[in-house]
């Protein structure tokens, strides 16, 4: 196809394709702006940044940092006050290093087991269902080869937590814009793809029309 022919096709091409693609690009740009605006501006740039400080108010209880040597065990507990609710718990290893590993065994005061878990990543979250108000005992063992410092976080009935139900809570103010940003990003990508397909179809049709003259 010659340069003059290509110029002619572009000139004659329907403008809907470029407009659709531009709209998609605009939506993608807006999605990134919304996402950036949702992130707190005063987040410290540190590998030891705590999840609990980033999502302030999300957890009912956050422990002080524990530090244990390989083979040692620490114990902590969390009491629930509502029956038939899930309990969200999580552990964050501070300044995580490759090879850090924790073993977590959960039971109540009667010795009933709520499961055993192994954490080999920097952050680990799990949900357990508690049928009645209870005290959960956590036995945490360092099964890695180096000292580990960590914090453990708890939330009772997270689905009905004020952090999520209150639109003015810090977590809601962060999560809602991120959801909107994700939706805009998906719609923008789809719109851009439609625009590109439309451009290709219009180019093909205009090229065939020129050959018929």
The answer to whether 206 and 13 are in contact (CB under 8 A) is yes
Cα separation of 53 and 65, whole Å?
A: 13
Q: What is the pLDDT of residue 140?
A: 95
Decide which of 87 and 11 is more confident.
87
Give the C-alpha separation, 206 to 8, whole Å: 9
Q: Which CATH architecture has domain 59-160?
A: Sandwich (2.60)
Domain boundaries, the chain: 3-39+171-212, 59-160
**What is the Cα–Cα distance from 202 to 40, expressed in whole angstroms?**
45
Q: What is the pLDDT of residues 150-196, one digit of tens each?
A: 999 998 887 776 655 566 666 666 677 778 888 989 999 999 998 88
Among residues 123, 142, 139, which one has the least CA distance to residue 76? Answer: 139
How far is C-alpha 16 from the chain's CA centre?
A: 36
d(CA 187, CA 180) in angstroms, rounded, equals 11
pTM exceeds 0.85 for this model: no
Lowest mean pLDDT among 62-71, 139-148, 150-159: 150-159
DSSP letters spanning 82-128: SSSEEEEEEEEEET--TT--EEEEEEETT--EEEEEEE-SSEEEEEE
**Alpha-carbon gap, residue 35 to 179, rounded angstroms:** 9
Q: Between the CA of residue 66 and those of 62, 147, 152, what are the distances in Å?
A: 11, 10, 9
Query: What stretches of the chain show up as alpha helix (H) in DSSP?
Result: 3-12, 16-38, 51-54, 162-165, 170-212
């Amino acid at each position: 196809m010659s340069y003059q022919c290509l110029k002619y096709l572009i000139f004659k091409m329907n403008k809907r394709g470029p407009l659709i693609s531009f709209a998609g690009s605009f939506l993608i740009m807006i999605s990134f702006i919304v996402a950036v605006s949702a992130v707190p501006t005063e987040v410290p740039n540190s590998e030891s940044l705590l999840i609990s400080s980033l999502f302030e108010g999300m957890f009912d209880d956050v422990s002080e940092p524990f530090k244990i040597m390989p083979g040692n065990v620490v114990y902590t507990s969390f009491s629930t006050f509502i029956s038939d609710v899930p309990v969200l718990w999580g552990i964050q290893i501070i300044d995580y290093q490759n090879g850090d590993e924790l073993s977590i065994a959960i039971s109540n005061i009667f010795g009933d087991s709520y499961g055993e878990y192994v954490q080999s990543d920097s952050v680990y979250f799990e949900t357990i269902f508690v049928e009645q108000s209870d005290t959960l005992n956590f036995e945490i063992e360092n099964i890695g080869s180096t000292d580990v410092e960590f914090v453990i976080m708890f939330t009772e009935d997270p689905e009905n937590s004020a952090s999520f139900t209150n639109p003015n809570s810090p977590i809601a103010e962060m999560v809602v814009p991120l959801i909107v940003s994700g939706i805009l990003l998906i719609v923008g990508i789809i719109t851009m793809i439609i625009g590109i397909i439309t451009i290709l179809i219009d180019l093909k049709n205009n090229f065939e029309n020129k050959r018929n003259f």
